[in-house]
């Protein structure tokens, strides 16, 4: 594998003991060989490809812990009938209509556009959750092929649900298991086992999924208590809530992603803490769907590991990290909250992704994955190891990536993705979207 030396920048290493160093990062294939001053690295970087950061900020690539690439072509689509009054109606009148109309060929532009946005914003790992009930088989391969072509680190799963009948439910299980075998062979791919949500899954289906998950040794990726209606539905069955139901039915093994958890109880947080189940917070989506605000500060204080995703709002997870901070302030009416929690959200994402990809991600240290971003960001005040989040939340969140290296390969050069023409890509997406909207 080739070496790349990213030099002459200001390096923020991330990780549990973050450092800020003037200098750069030496990558050797998909591994960071060294982090240090230009002088130190120059001696061991003879003959390597050089990226000159020119004083810019060098940071680890960000990880988006919950995304729906399939949502791209819904942008600007008009809905028939009266506007949805609640979350279930949003699903019924928008997302469940759109996903049923998706064909495999729609998934390519639907994935390429947000994956490009991810790279250009310094997001180097995407953990996706997919649904296309009338094009289940092979759908995860189309997404993975697109991600591999673009070079980004990518995890996906198919959301199993009873809402489209037995055959499609079974096809969803098969798609998860089939893709998991492929992902196991590719270091840039990872699989989880997707479930939609407690309220669209019968006990029998969950039982079947639990057995498949155990056999395949996969973590589950599922929406949990996004709206109150999911918790109410579970309570009708005698459970404390949606998370308690999924746990009782044995479908939340260690490492699983319980997405949202807006309407969960303290007892359910205990289950998550003791069972090693991650929560993934998606603040912008929760605000957009008017479903409430998750008690992130309380969950973190009680020992739940809470990460952060975007739920299809956009690919750039920095926007949801910032939204989590602002929503947390707003919800608690306490401006002291969310500083430590923001650090915790970012670190939990690193943990989630490192577990899935079986490699340490999100940290610039020797031996970690070579996912490195040079941001068009020149700190206007001193940046040190203690105030990175001040820079991220009030400046860096809107900086574009100038160079992006994923797994030791340079994907973004001078702010552009090699071989990617945004105008042409948008034109192709527009054609597919026009045909898709007619079928919705």
Binding site for Zn ion (CB under 5 A): 311
Q: Which of 154, 186, 30, 152 is nearest to 417 (CA)?
A: 152
Task: Tally Cβ neighbours within 10 Å of residue 202.
Answer: 10
Token match 């309380």: residue? Answer: 298
CB of 285 to Zn ion, least distance (A): 7
- Please give the residue whose beta carbon sits closest to Zn ion in the complex: 311
CB of 321 to Zn ion, least distance (A): 17
DSSP state of 83: P
311 versus 410: smaller Cβ distance to Zn ion: 311
For helices 107-120 and 422-439, angle between their N-to-C axes, nearest 10 degrees:
140
56 versus 129: smaller Cβ distance to Zn ion: 129
Which two tokens mark 71?
A: 């949502």
139 versus 402: smaller Cβ distance to Zn ion: 139
Q: Are 342 and 389 in contact (CB under 8 A)?
A: yes
311 versus 316: smaller Cβ distance to Zn ion: 311
CB of 268 to Zn ion, least distance (A): 19
Q: What end-to-end distance do the CA atoms of the chain give, in Å?
A: 46
240 versus 311: smaller Cβ distance to Zn ion: 311
CA 136 to centroid of chain Cα atoms: 21
188 versus 291: smaller Cβ distance to Zn ion: 291
Contacts of 283 (CB under 8 A, 6+ apart): 293, 294, 308, 320, 323, 324, 326, 327
Which two tokens mark 73?
A: 């072509």
Q: How far apart are CA 186 and CA 148, in angstroms?
A: 10
8 versus 71: smaller Cβ distance to Zn ion: 71
21 versus 315: smaller Cβ distance to Zn ion: 315
For helices 166-184 and 139-150, angle between their N-to-C axes, nearest 10 degrees:
30
95 versus 420: smaller Cβ distance to Zn ion: 95
Angle of CA points 44, 46, 48, to nearest 5°: 105
CB of 258 to Zn ion, least distance (A): 11
CA 72 to centroid of chain Cα atoms: 15
DSSP states of 419-435 as a string?
T--HHHHHHHHHHHHHH
CB of 336 to Zn ion, least distance (A): 30
DSSP state of 401: E
Q: Are 260 and 282 in contact (CB under 8 A)?
A: yes
CB of 71 to Zn ion, least distance (A): 9
Q: Which of 175, 217, 242, 219 is nearest to 352 (CA)?
A: 219
């Amino acid at each position: 594998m080739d070496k790349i030396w990213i030099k002459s920048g200001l390096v923020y290493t991330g990780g549990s003991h973050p450092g800020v160093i003037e200098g750069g990062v030496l990558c050797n294939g998909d591994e960071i060989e060294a982090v240090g001053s230009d002088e130190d690295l120059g001696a061991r970087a003879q003959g390597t490809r050089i990226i000159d950061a020119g004083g810019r900020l060098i940071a680890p690539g960000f990880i988006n812990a919950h995304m729906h690439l399939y949502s791209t072509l819904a942008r600007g689509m008009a809905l028939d009938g009266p506007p949805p009054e609640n979350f279930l109606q949003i699903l019924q009148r928008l997302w469940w209509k759109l996903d049923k109309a998706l064909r495999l060929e729609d998934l390519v532009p639907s994935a390429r556009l947000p994956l490009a946005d991810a790279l250009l914003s310094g997001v180097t790992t995407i953990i996706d959750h997919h649904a296309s009930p009338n094009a289940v088989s092979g759908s995860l391969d189309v997404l993975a092929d697109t991600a591999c072509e673009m070079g980004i680190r990518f995890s996906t799963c198919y959301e199993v649900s009873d809402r489209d009948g037995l055959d499609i439910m079974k096809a969803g299980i098969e798609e998860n298991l089939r893709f998991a075998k492929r992902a196991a062979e590719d270091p840039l791919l990872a699989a989880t086992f997707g479930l939609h949500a407690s309220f669209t899954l019968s006990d029998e289906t969950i039982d079947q999924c639990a057995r498949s998950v155990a056999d395949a040794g996969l973590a589950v990726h599922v929406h949990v208590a996004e709206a109150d209606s999911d918790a109410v539905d579970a309570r009708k069955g005698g459970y404390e809530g949606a998370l308690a139901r999924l746990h009782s039915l044995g479908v939340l093994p260690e490492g699983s992603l319980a997405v949202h958890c807006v309407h969960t109880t303290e007892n359910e947080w205990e289950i998550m803490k003791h069972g090693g189940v991650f929560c993934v917070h998606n603040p912008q989506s929760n605000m957009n769907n008017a479903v409430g605000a998750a008690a992130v500060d309380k969950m973190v204080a009680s020992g739940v590991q809470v990460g952060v995703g975007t739920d299809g709002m956009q690919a750039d997870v920095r926007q949801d990290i910032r939204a989590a901070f602002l929503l947390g302030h707003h919800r608690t009416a306490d401006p002291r909250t969310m500083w430590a929690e923001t650090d915790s959200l970012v670190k939990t994402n690193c943990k989630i992704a490192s577990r899935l990809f079986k490699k340490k991600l999100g940290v610039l240290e020797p031996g970690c994955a070579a996912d490195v971003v040079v941001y068009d960001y020149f700190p206007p005040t001193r940046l040190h190891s203690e105030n990175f989040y001040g820079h991220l939340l009030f400046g860096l969140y809107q900086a574009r990536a100038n160079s992006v290296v994923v797994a030791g390969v340079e994907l973004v050069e001078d702010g552009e993705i090699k071989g990617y023409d945004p105008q042409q890509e948008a034109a192709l997406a527009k054609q597919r979207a026009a045909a898709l909207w007619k079928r919705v």
